[in-house]
Amino acid sequence: MERWRGKVAIVTGTSSGIGAAIATDLVKHGLQVVGLARRVDRTKELASELKNEAGILLPLKCDISKEEEILSAFVYVNEELGGADILVNNAGVLNESLLGEGLTEEWSSMLNTNILGLSICTREAIKSMKQRNIDQGHIVHINSIAGHYDLDKPGYHMYSATKHAVTALTEGLRKELVSQGSKIRVTSISPGLVNTEMIRVGMKIEDVEELLKNKPCLKPSDVSDVVMYVLGSPSHVQIVEVTMKSVGEINL
């Protein structure tokens, strides 16, 4: 991770959970981390907690489902910080919604954040890197094991579809960059069940806390550990996909 010290990383969805854990670890490794979040006050609190660490967390209000806010965030990064070296697409939306009965707005929120928002952030990060002839940048998608097979429980198939799209986009971008002779790396990290606020908000289960207590699940820090490993790998190594589950976890 030493080669990233002082570099600029953008992390989406830093108000809680996995995004907050990743932002924290990157700051501790000495990076300038731009934390994009709708609830920016939470990221500001985290920034205050990290003020004595080697790097710095710069909170920025941004709704990843809105292109104009993403573009504004990248203008700030490019003009004030010199551009992005790392992008971690972590922000995501989970809505339990049946395919035969679900609400269009529930589907739209997942599609707009999980696919379009991720794609717009990726496009702008790639442009930022190429404009500065940065050929050692890294794009990390926080995907899901739901992007590799169909879930058993009804209500999560639209979410699964968005994550299957991330899997396809990761490999598509990797091949595109290779065809252009670029050494910018792209990685998809696909965790199983993680104990996060998104699960509590998105799952229509009577007692989510009871589920999380009785079902093996990962911690946000577990996912962040893998992100640090991927970023810290030698520059000639391309880690394309990482899947991870807690010991004893079965499919949802």
Alpha-carbon distance of 182 to 137, in angstroms, equals 10
Out of 76, 156, 159, 229, the active site residue is 159
Q: Structure tokens of 57?
A: 């967390």
Using an 8 Å Cβ cutoff, are 63 and 69 in contact? yes
On the 0-12 / 13-18 / 19+ scale of CB atoms within 10 A, 174 is buried
Say whether 76 is catalytic.
Answer: no
Side chain identity at residue 157, one-letter code? H
Phi, psi of 63 (to 5 degrees): -95, 115
- Do the Cβ atoms of 35 and 159 come closer than 8 Å? no
Other residues' Cβ atoms within 10 Å of the Cβ of residue 189: 24
Q: Which residues are catalytic?
A: 159
